[in-house]
Amino acid sequence: MTKLNWYKAHERIFDSGLSRGVFYSQNEFGVPWNGLVSVEEQSTEVDRKQRYVDGEKYGYSRSPGSFSAKIEAYTYPDEFEEGSIFGLSYRVERGDWYQIHLIYNAIATSSEIIYATLKDSVDALLFRWSVSTTPVQLLGATASAHIFVDSNTIYDWALTDLEDILYGTPSQDARFPSLEEVVQLVEDASIVKITDHGDGTWSAEGPDEYVYMTDVTPFEIDYVTAVYIDAESYTVHSL
């Protein structure tokens, strides 16, 4: 038994700010979004349908809502055009780690702009946009236009590869990866990799201490978590 503790320093998590905003036009090349103030993430209402039998509710079904956002900024990249599809990445600081957010298939519509008379002190004009998205279809997963990667859970080498793509390197331009590419990058970085061959067979790859034969045909896989479906079948994922 363990007594609850509310004062563990590493569990005092809070979002402390927005940083590293990058705008990606349809040609996929990224440019810094300097002056980005905030991204207000929103989701439309989830459609819920109540189900009844003989007047008694026994459950409900739900369909996922779509992602939208409101953006505020003091300025915007020259490549930004209202009505054009773009990608956006930004970083949210969370204590001593951070999350990288990716928004796909975004279209921005400007909100009203108010010009006021000059005063003794200068107030910078704040631009505002409403952003709608179209979800990206991904095989075996729910379609989504918004994902985030947590630096506290992804392997360091995978995080480095992702940031090299998003922010560029001395030898390559910054670009916006497809959702499939992000998933594959994380999958390829796994210590133990499970591959479904689509023909009823699968394979496991990993270091000898995690994937090894115990006899001529039996084998053992350590380090991953298996979720049993029934007595003879289970689901196992890369890790």
Give 169-218 as a DSSP string: BTTB--B---HHHHHHHHHHT-SSEEEE-SSS-EEEE--TTTEEESSSS-
| More confident call, 130 vs 196 | 130
Q: Indicate whether 189 pLDDT > 70.
A: yes
Query: 179-188 and 156-167 are packed helices; what angle lies between their axes, rounded to 10 degrees?
Result: 150
Eight-state DSSP code of residue 9: G
Q: Indicate whether 69 pLDDT > 80.
A: yes
Q: Is the dihedral of CA 191, 148, 32, 124 positive or negative?
A: negative
Q: Whose CA is closest to 93, among 15, 12, 9?
A: 15
Phi, psi of 132 (to 5 degrees): -115, 160
Which whole number is the average pLDDT over 187-195?
77
| Local confidence band at 51 (pLDDT 50, 70, 90 cut-offs) | low
Q: Judge contact between 205 and 211, C-beta under 8 A.
A: yes
Give 140-167 pLDDT, tens digit per residue: 778 889 999 999 888 888 999 999 999 9
Q: Which residue reads 């001395």 in tokens?
A: 170
Q: Indicate whether 59 pLDDT > 70.
A: no
The Cα 122–Cα 140 span in angstroms is 52
The Cα 66–Cα 133 span in angstroms is 7
CA distances from 221 to 154, 180, 236 (A): 21, 26, 10
Give 2-39 pLDDT, tens digit per residue: 677 666 655 555 556 889 999 999 876 899 999 999 99
Give pLDDT, residue 22: 96
Report pTM: 0.72
Give 82-113 pLDDT, tens digit per residue: 889 999 999 998 878 899 999 999 999 987 66
